[in-house]
Amino acid sequence: MNTPDQTSDVALWVFGYGSLVWNPGFPFVRRELATLPGYHRSFCMRSIHHRGTVDAPGLVLALDPRPDAACSGVAFGVAPAAVEQTLFDLRERELVSSAYLEMRLDVRLDHGPEVSALTYVVDPDHGQYCGGLPLDEQAAIIARAHGGRGPNADYLIHTASHLSQLGLEDPELDWLVARVLELTDVNRTADH
């Protein structure tokens, strides 16, 4: 990670905690490990576009409010010239079904100050919200779901792998990866 000695080249910070960590989809001039207090990363949103369908929803990560929690992730610093296009691209990607709320929240950079970052938080009143699902149920959904951006299992595996590479361990995601791999192996064996 870069250690910023100043942030004058950054006009917008974006906090990533799921697929944005490994596939931001926008240009950035800074990339810092960061922590968002008061939220936890959770498979609490049904995906009917990217990782599932209306008939067979998958699950994607979202930030779920929890006062005693803190979510580790990555803060991306966007240069002034790229802000408008970045906002357009992020809104097209993240607000496709209005299940996320676009918010500016304070995140703590690991090697720098606290900054206000654009963050996508689940709307607990939206029909796609499904907080509190048992891990076994999450694994079963993720193992079978497939959407416009591919298998739900790939989303889980890529996210857990990239968080681990950054030193951001998430035991729940690690457990889900192991269980989903078991389930998909069982399904492949049963198909032959």
Question: What count of residues does the chain have?
Answer: 192
Is 94 in the active site? yes
* Rounded Cα distance, 73 and 190, in Å: 37
* Residue 48 φ/ψ region, left for φ over 0, alpha for ψ in the -120 to 50 degree band, beta for the rest: alpha
* Rounded Cα distance, 149 and 146, in Å: 8
Q: 71 with 40: CB under 8 angstroms?
A: yes
* Rounded Cα distance, 23 and 18, in Å: 9
Long-range contacts of 51-54 (CB under 8 A, 24+ apart): 51/145, 51/146, 51/147, 51/149, 51/150, 51/151, 51/152, 51/155, 52/141, 52/145, 52/146, 52/147, 52/152, 53/146, 53/147
Structure tokens at 72: 């580790």
Q: 13 with 33: CB under 8 angstroms?
A: no
Q: Kindly name the residue from 94, 102, 137, 169 that is annotated as catalytic.
A: 94
Active site residues: 94
